[in-house]
Amino acid sequence: MKSGAVKRSTPAAWLLFLAGLLFAGIAGATVQASLERGTVYEGEPFTLSLSIDGAGGTAEPDLTPLEKDFRLLGTGTSQQIRIVNGHRSEKRVWSVQLEPKRLGRLEIPAIAIGSERTRPLKITVREVPEQSAAGNDAPVFIETDLGPGSGKTYVQQQIRYRVRLFLGERLLDGSLSEPAPEDAVVERLGEDKRYRVVRNGTEYQVIERNYAIFPEKSGELRIPPVRFSGRIAVPGGSARSPSTRGPRSLMEQFFGDDPFANDPFFRDMPAFGSRFFGGGRGRAVSVRSRAATLAVAPRPAGYKGRYWLPAAGLELKDSWAGEPPELRAGEPVTRTITIEAKGLESSQIPRIDLTAPPGVRLYPEPAESENRTDGSWVFGQSRQRWTYIPSREGTLEVPALTLTWWDVTAGRERTARLPGWRLKVLPGVDAGTLAENPPASPTPATQGTAGAPPGTVPAMARIRDWLEREWPRAALAAALPVLLLLSWWFWRRRKPAAAPPAGETAGHASVASSADRKAALAALRRACDAGDAPAAARALLELGAARWPEDPPASLGALASRLDGAEEALRQLDRVLYGQGGTGWDGAALWQRFQDGIPEQGDDTKGRGEGPLEPLYPQRA
């Protein structure tokens, strides 16, 4: 009895033993969180260490709660296994690099790793002291400045904003933010500049970017700090700083110093070799510049211009299609006015309104705009075209053109001017003139283009004016090709098609239909051997189609009319088909006649109308 009880209790004991091991492993999996220091400066990264002891399995920490007050710069993992006196212990460590988003006393919340949670931690974030904000002794720092440096800054005027990133250590990777002021337009000026400088005995590699900022309203313009986040090589490893660079390693010589050659910012950053020779993942860095403020003045009260154009320079250019232009009554001529402004984007350049002189129809065309830069200034350009169509011969007076703008360098109003034109209008080609527009009707230049897409009005006017003069000749020129085409079509219908030479047609058909002829001949042999009259008839018609692909025979009678010496065999086959239903037929004689196929000659040896036979499958009443 006792032994039986022991046997029944053994499975339960094993279950209790395994459960104990499981709970012991879970109980031994403890998690911890720690900080490398309790106080950091604004924008300074720090490391949060998370560890789990025991059988932690594949659990990963949930870092989502950190995103409220911190930026996650990167995470590294390591695992330690220790065996002491036969006792095995494991430990996994996560190194989380963080950057605070704000000042003050911040809480690092509890982090969940599997079913366990760490305890909350506190860290103090202080403002960067003035003496260290310049960063002259830091491995990475940013300097910014605004230009121009003297005089007032007006609304919509270009402000040059320069950003310089100083790198005292080898850079592994990183990103530099763009300036983002409110109520302003920001444009990049050219490509990055790269050079080296020495500060306090340390050599730095400098990346310089220039921006054009156009404030949209007057008042105080605030440009928030520009931020750089990245990783630099740890000093002391084989990843050398720019100031201590010696001979390159074999790996660096093979791969080059530029792993980010396709990156527009880090195109020249030498960092590849450091990942293989001691650089590892490097050290995370995050720096930012100081915020910048600037007073923006409104448009001067005494400014008399119709358009507000604050620029460092503005120029007007005038050109005609033909120099000097030759005008004829009723014929269009194009005038182009180009406006180029230094310190303005093309979108800030207005559309000029021209008034049509008496006796002229004036049609504006869409403007062509473009921007370019020399690395310091934006140059906006607008090319504006008009089509002039004089209605009568005589003298055309084109008035002068002026455009007022504000010189931001001198701080005064200026006027750009194009002189007027006095042009002679010659008679039209046919000595005819067009009627002048009635005075009460608006000129085309002021009518707009509501009824047509932009750019179509001048073209339509040119066509209309041309047709008014040339319509008889145009109608004749348009009708002549139609008449020629109709004549050719009637001639083709009346002319019978010429039959090609028989030998040429037969040769072509023989080449083109050789495969079909072989297949039909094989089908005919099988039908004759099997005594299958309908199949033999179909095979014969396929032979005929292969022989005359352009005009295949439609029945056995049509086939017989084209062959010599085959009429009797075909008539016998036809009688079998319609007299005995195709049974009891011996195809040996038919195969004897057609075993070589249909000969290449013989098309004309017999008229095609002789010996008509009944259709292969006639309909019976």
For residue 10, tell me if it sits in a domain.
no
Q: Could you list the residue range(s) of the whole structural domain that residue 104 is in?
A: 30-126
160 & 108 share domain: no
95 & 149 share domain: no
For residue 15, tell me if it sits in a domain.
no
235 & 325 share domain: no
460 & 339 share domain: yes
Q: Please name the residue ranges forming H helices in 176-310.
A: 250-255
Distance CA 139, CA 242 (A): 11
322: which residues sit within 8 A by CB, 6+ positions away? Answer: 333
Q: What is the dihedral of CA 275, 277, 281, 285, to 10 degrees?
A: -100
285 & 340 share domain: no
384 & 269 share domain: no
Distance CA 237, CA 279 (A): 6
Distance CA 351, CA 384 (A): 8
3-state class (DSSP) for residue 385: strand
Final residue of a structural domain among 80, 105, 126: 126
CA-nearest of 592, 594, 573 to 584 is 573
Q: What is the pLDDT of residue 614?
A: 45
User: 232 exposed, middle or buried (CB, 10 Å; 0-12, 13-18, 19+)?
Assistant: buried
Residue numbers of the chain with a pLDDT score lower than 70 = 1-29, 55-57, 128-137, 148-150, 235-281, 430-474, 492-513, 579-584, 600-621
For residue 150, tell me if it sits in a domain.
yes
327 & 181 share domain: no
For residue 380, tell me if it sits in a domain.
yes
214 & 346 share domain: no
Number of domains in the chain: 4
For residue 46, tell me if it sits in a domain.
yes
Q: What are the C-alpha distances in Å from 266 to residues 193, 261, 399?
A: 11, 7, 55
Q: What is the pLDDT of residue 601?
A: 57
113 & 167 share domain: no
For 593, other C-beta atoms within 10 Å of its C-beta total 15
CATH of the domain at 39: 2.60.40
Query: Looking at 277-332, which runs of residues are DSSP E strands?
Result: 283-288, 292-296, 310-311, 313-320, 327-328
For residue 621, tell me if it sits in a domain.
no
Q: What is the pLDDT of residue 235?
A: 63
Distance CA 321, CA 342 (A): 27
Q: What is the pLDDT of residue 76?
A: 86
Final residue of a structural domain among 98, 126, 154: 126
For residue 17, tell me if it sits in a domain.
no
Q: What is the pLDDT of residue 10?
A: 57
Distance CA 143, CA 208 (A): 10
303: which residues sit within 8 A by CB, 6+ positions away? Answer: 404, 406, 413
Q: What are phi and psi of 571, to 5 degrees?
A: -65, -40
For residue 485, tell me if it sits in a domain.
no
Final residue of a structural domain among 83, 106, 126: 126
* pTM (predicted TM-score): 0.50
146 & 110 share domain: no
In 63-75, which positions are buried (b, 16+ CB within 10 angstroms) versus exposed (e)?
Answer: beebeebbbebbb
609: which residues sit within 8 A by CB, 6+ positions away? Answer: 561
539 & 580 share domain: yes
144 & 281 share domain: yes
